[in-house]
Structures are given as C-alpha cells and as structure tokens.
Amino acid sequence: MNGSKTRQIKTLYVYELRKIVCRRIVWITGGIMLLLCVSLSFVDLISTSSDFGEGNEEIVVSGYEMMKIRRECARALSGRKIDGSLLQEMQDFSRGEGMKRESQDVDPATGIVVSVEPGETDAERGAGAEEETDAKEETDAEGDGDAKEEADVKTEPEDIWDRLWAAQKYTPIRIYVYRIMGYGDGKTMDAAGLYSEREKLIAQNREDQMLKQEEMEYWKKNDAGLELPFTYEYAEGWGELWNQSYVVNCMLLLLLLVSLSNVFSMEHQQKTDAVILCTRHGKRELYIAKVLAGITFGAAAALLLSGITLLSDLAVYGADGFGGALQIEFPLSSWRMSVGESVLVLFFMLLAISAMYSIVILFLSEWLKKGVSVMAILVGIMTFTLFIDIPFQLRTLSQVYDLLPTNLLMPWGLWDDRLFSVFGGYLTQFEAAPVMYALLSAVLLFLGRRIWQKQQVGV
C-alpha cells in the first residue's frame, strides 16, 4: 500500500470515527455506563453498615467508615508475613481484647463484621464460634497479664474511631484466613495448617477441573516458584477490579453494540452505499478505515470503562499494594505475579475482548445489514452465557466455551488451571484467548471484506 493510500485511509478513518462518535445515543449510553462504573466502587459502601457493640452500647457506622477503619488496619499490617507469629498474635488478640469487648465474626465473603448480641447462645453462633467461646473462657480463667494490660488501655479509647480500630486490628488477616479455612478452624490455625489447607483446596479444585497429569506437572513446577509464607499487602483497590470485571465486560459489550452495530448497516439503510461503493476507495480502503475506526472505538471504550472503574476503586480503597502477591487477594490462584500485574493482564484481556467484540459486531453489521438484528443476536448470546454453564466433565467443550469473551473475565478465571496444549507447550486460558480471538478476527475480517466488496445495491 503506497503512502497516498495510507493517507486516504487515515482521513477516512477520522471521518468514520466521527460518524460513530457524533451520534447522540452513543454519548447517552456511554454516560450511563460510566456512571455505573463509578457507582460499582461506591455502592457497597453506601448500602452496607456495620455494627459494633460494647456491652449494651451499640455503635453503628456506615460501610464507608468501616472500610476506612479496615483500610487503616490493613495498612498497619502490610509488609508482614502471614506466618505462625502473625497468626498467633491474631489469635491472642481475639482471646484477649476482642473477646472482652464482644464476640464477633467476619463474613469471609464480604468481610462484614457479624455482631453477636449479648445473651446469644453458642448454638446460634455456629460451630466456629464455639471454639472462640471456649478460648475466651480459657483466657478468662487463666488470665494473661500482658493481654489484660493491653486490653485495659484499649477498653478506654478516646473516641469511636479508636475503639473500632482496636477491634478491627487483625480483621484483614482474619478475612484472609477465613477465605481459606471458612468458619471452621480459623481462630486456632497455625501457618502450616493454613498453607496446607490452601494446597488441599487447590488440589481439589484441579481434580474438579479434570486436569491431566501433564497439566498437574505444569502447575506443580509453577507452584514451586511461589514464595511462602505470603507477605500481607493491602491491595483492595487493585483486587476489586477483578471482582467488577464481569460487570465491566457486560457494559462494554452493550456500549459497543449501541455504538458499532450500524457502522456498516447505516450505509445500506441511509442508501449511501450507492455513492460510496462506486468511488475509487469505496471498496477496499473504506472497509479498512471502518474496521480500524470500530476497533479504535472499542479499545477506547474498554480503557475508559475499566480505567474509570479502577480509578474509582483506587480513590475509595487506596492505591496501595500494587506489588503484593496475587494470592493475598485471591488465595486459590496459582499465578506467579503481583495483584497489580494481574490488573495489567486484566486490562490487556479487556483490550483483546474489545477488539473481538468490535470485529464481531462490524461483521454482523455488514452481514445482516440491520443494527437491531446485531444487537438482538449478541444480547441473546450474552444472556445465554450468563445462565448456561458447561460442566467440567465436558472438558474440551467447557474449556472453549469459557474462552468466549462474555465468559472469560471472571475472578475465578484466576484459579481456572485448565491448560491448552499447543505444539507441545501449554497455554493458560488467558494466554489462549487472545490467540483464538486473533484467528477468529482474521476469518471474520476476511469474510466481512468479501461481503462488503461483493455488495450489490438494490438487490
């Protein structure tokens, strides 16, 4: 392609981008999506409140206040290895000060403190709480001079913040332990037991995923490179994006459907195809310009939606912990990278997905020649993949199904250890997906170009 044609494509590309961006519906949809992205980070903080009681006194704080307290506690613990010593400290604290004030548990899924009202029975609190009560009684009976001294200081805090902060001191570690152990032995667990339980869960996970021996070997070698014990880092701001990735992915698809589904079909519906297809560059260069404009818009939308979501997360939770181990946020993951690096992978995957979405939408737009039909088909697929899951027993089918852009960006993808064998090597799901998207894109671009160039007006 000579320089003149490249310049023509460039000019046409700018015009095609303008055609996409100039539509009011694109701005309205984009605005709504951005608002939703921002609200993803805040919605939990507004809707959740946590109670903390002391004797008959009950303190109610908003989810945001509680998050701030936890954040400060987590920051104080950042850089500490999650080893026997830290776990012991946590348990001692629970038996001492924590038990004196109030028995409380933390929901491992949400990290929300579950208060236990005075007079509530052990049976009501569950099995895990029984051990906690035993430990409390033991502590009360034996007495611990140091702990009591510390407790005395903490029981007369200056204000609500200090009292809450004191109670939440080890909550981040407790949440981490609960993520692995559940409610069971969390309060008495030692480091060896904790990491062995993690390995047990991972092994069970791999068995469920029906991994072959070669895949097991692959992960065994990989796991050997993980440095234990993990060092705690507060990285909620980065990790939260993984939890929101599915919603961001859906919003991206909807925005691209609204914006790109008529890139080609518009030419047929507005009858501009007759004048553009008989121009010098109307068949080849215009097709390239339209595809490039569509992909660019898709990439920009992906970066904007995920970028705004990440910025909101960082604004709320803080930007700490970029270099923290991914296993702190997602204990079952075997990826050897930091949580921040995993977010970069997430961004890259979103870009690959946006390109895939754009190309599929552009192809359907040219093939079906009706924007509404394109939307109907892809929203249908999105809904289907939302409700239908293919079990691991159908190994190949489920593995390929999970590569679909609408299925790929889930937090549990971080501990999906199924591999694709390619020319003797192995690719993880996140490595295989861009390759598959590239191949599929090439086929669709080729077919789309043929349809565009063979287009007959008035048939």
Partner 1 sequence: MELILDRVTKQFRNKIAVDRISLRLHPGVYGLLGANGAGKTTLLRLICGILRCDSGTVSLDGLDVSTEEYRAGLGYLPQDFGYYPEFTGMDFLVYMATLKGLARSQAGRRAAELLELVSLGDMGRKKIKTYSGGMKQRLGIAQALLNRPRLLILDEPTAGLDPKERARFRNLIGEAGKEGIVILSTHIVSDIEQIADTVLMMKDGRLIFQGEWQEGQGDLEKFYLEQFEDGGLYQKMNESGKESGGNL
Kindly tell me which residue out of 1, 7, 107, 446 binds partner 1, with binding defined by CB under 8 A: 7
**In angstroms, what is the minimal distance from the CB of 255 to partner 1?**
19
Per CB under 8 A, 449 contacts partner 1: no
> In the set 4, 47, 213, 393, which binds partner 1 (CB under 8 A)?
4
- Pick between residue 221 and residue 454 the one whose CB is nearest to partner 1: 454
| All residues at 6 or more sequence positions from 356 whose CB lies less than 8 Å from its CB, including other chains | 405, 437, 440, 441
Of 396 and 453, the one with the shorter C-beta distance to partner 1 is 453
d(CA 182, CA 164): 24
Q: What are phi and psi of 408, to 5 degrees?
A: -70, -45
Distance CA 367, CA 361 (A): 10
Question: Which residue, 285 or 320, is less far from partner 1 as judged by CB?
Answer: 285
Strand partners, 422: 425
Sign of CA dihedral 244, 248, 251, 253: negative
The CA radius of gyration of the chain, in Å to the nearest whole number, is 27
Residues 6+ away with beta carbon under 8 Å from 3? none
Name the helix (H) or strand (E) containing 422.
strand 420-422
**Residue 273 interacting with partner 1 (CB under 8 A):** yes
Q: Which of 43, 276, 439, 442 binds partner 1 (CB under 8 A)?
A: 276
**Spatial separation of the C-alpha atoms in residues 132 and 152, rounded to whole Å:** 21
Among 32, 192, 274, 394, binds partner 1 (CB under 8 A): 274
Q: Check: CB of residue 167 under 8 Å from CB of residue 52.
A: yes
In order of 21, 170, 254, 301, 371, the CA distances from 375 in angstroms are 18, 49, 8, 17, 6
Per CB under 8 A, contacts with partner 1 among 281-320 are 281-286
- Select 153 or 278, whichever has its Cβ closest to partner 1: 278
* Phi, psi at 227, each rounded to 5°: -90, 115
Residue 366 touching partner 1 (CB under 8 A): no
In angstroms, the CA 173 to CA 159 distance is 24
Query: Could you tell me the smallest distance in angstroms from the CB atom of residue 371 to partner 1?
Result: 15
Complex with partner 1: residue 136 or 281, whichever CB lies closer: 281
What is the nearest approach in angstroms of partner 1 to the Cβ of residue 268?
9
Contact call for residue 15 and partner 1 (CB under 8 A): yes
Examine residue 457 and tell whether it contacts partner 1 (CB under 8 A).
yes
255 contacts 33 by C-beta, under 8 angstroms: yes
* Cα three-residue angle 274-276-442, rounded to 5 degrees: 110
Residue 72: strand, helix, or coil: helix
Q: Which among 19-27, 165-173, 307-315, 410-418 is the span making contact with partner 1, rule CB under 8 A? A: 19-27
| Closest CB to partner 1 among residues 269, 421 | 269
Q: Is 6 in the site for partner 1 (CB under 8 A)?
A: no
Which residue, 276 or 315, is less far from partner 1 as judged by CB?
276
- Which residue's CB is nearer to partner 1, number 39 or number 453? 453
What are 232's two structure tokens? 């705690």
**Residue 37 vs 289, nearer CB to partner 1:** 289
Distance in Å, CB of 17 to partner 1, minimum = 12
351 CB-contact burial (10 Å; exposed 0-12 / middle 13-18 / buried 19+):
middle
272 contributes a contact to partner 1 by CB under 8 A: yes
Give the three-state DSSP class for 58. strand
SS3 424: coil
- Asked if 279 is part of the footprint of partner 1 (rule: CB under 8 A), the reply reads yes
Q: Rounded to whole angstroms, how far apart are CA atoms 147 and 139? A: 10
Given 200, 212, 220, 271, the residue binding partner 1 (CB under 8 A): 271
Nearer to partner 1, 9 or 189 (CB): 9
Asked whether position 459 contacts partner 1 by CB under 8 A, the answer is yes
For position 412 contacting partner 1 by CB under 8 A, the verdict is no
Considering only 15-23, 40-48, 104-112, 225-233, which stretch makes contact with partner 1 by CB under 8 A? 15-23
d(CA 417, CA 419): 6
Q: Does 25 sit near partner 1 (CB under 8 A)?
A: no
User: Shortest Cβ distance from residue 370 to partner 1 (Å)?
Assistant: 16
**Binding residues for partner 1 (CB under 8 A):** 4, 7-8, 11-12, 15, 18-19, 22-23, 267, 270-286, 454-459
